[in-house]
Amino acid sequence: MKKTVIWIGTVIGAAAVMSLVFDAMRTTDAPKTISVVGECLTSAPKDKTAITLRVAALAQNAADSMRDATAQMADIVNYLKTQPVEIQTKQFNSYEKSEWNRELQKSEILGIETTIAVEVSADNTTTIENLLAKFAGQKNVFSEDLRMYTSAKVLKPIMEECMSLAVENARTRANALAAGDSKTAGKMLAVSYGTNTAYNPQPAYNLMRSKVAMATSANADVAAGTIVAKDTDVSVTVNAIFEIK
């Protein structure tokens, strides 16, 4: 019995020693790493100008309301197809419209209103300005959400280059930190990233310059009716882990 206990104790002791040895080996083999953040800030030109054209038709029943709205929007779309623009349906709603009667102090149903909206975009700001002028004052037609933006085609290569610069920035920071121990950053072991684009929307009264303002402006670069907007701000942040060697 005593020999058995001694034998079991010896086995357990040997296993514990081997476990410590393997843990030490794993600790020794684990690479030394450093975690840093890299950043890139740039901008992208806004190459697209867009506007939303909305038709609203009110009738006593849904069928007439939808018919009137659809017919008027069809005329608008047929005209837009002759222009150098891209068209995308944005909204189609039909609902009961009511308003508050102050004299009777109650809500009154006016009928069924159908709204159809399309987004119209163009490469040339003049094209959108001409559309604004054409549809201004037309019954049941509303121009909304005038804006400039950067298309995916233009944004993609700028974003990719900025991401590469952010990784380079992360490596530069890692080398600077490792230099304190006379080390350098080796291969990148892990990375994650985040992107952000800020379009800096401007109020409508800042987007359109009137002819009167142009005539009195001392700035020769401001043309009549020109839409102005700041470039899109682009930022990329990467979180990288480098091996230290």
Ordered domains of the chain (ranges, CATH): 30-45+153-244 (3.30.110.170), 48-149 (3.30.70.2970)
Q: What is the pLDDT of residues 71-96, one digit of tens each?
A: 999 999 999 999 999 999 888 999 99
DSSP H helices, the chain, are: 2-29, 62-80, 125-135, 152-178, 204-207, 211-216
**pLDDT, position 218:** 39
Residue 64 sits at the vertex; the CA angle it makes with 82 and 132, to the nearest 5 degrees, is: 35
Compute the average pLDDT of residues 48-68.
Answer: 94
d(CA 233, CA 18): 58
**pLDDT, position 227:** 58
Mapping DSSP to helix (H, G, I), strand (E, B) and coil, where does residue 156 land?
Answer: helix
Compute the average pLDDT of residues 4-33.
Answer: 52
Q: Which residue has the higher pLDDT, 152 or 6?
A: 152
pLDDT tier at 175, thresholds 50, 70, 90: very high
Exposure of 15 by Cβ count < 10 A (0-12 exposed, 13-18 middle, 19+ buried)?
A: exposed
Instruction: Indicate the range of 30-34, 124-128, 228-232 predicted with least confidence.
Output: 228-232
Roughly how many angstroms between the first and final C-alpha of the chain, as a whole number? 54
Cα–Cα nearest to 165, from 244, 238, 81, 70: 238
d(CA 12, CA 32): 32
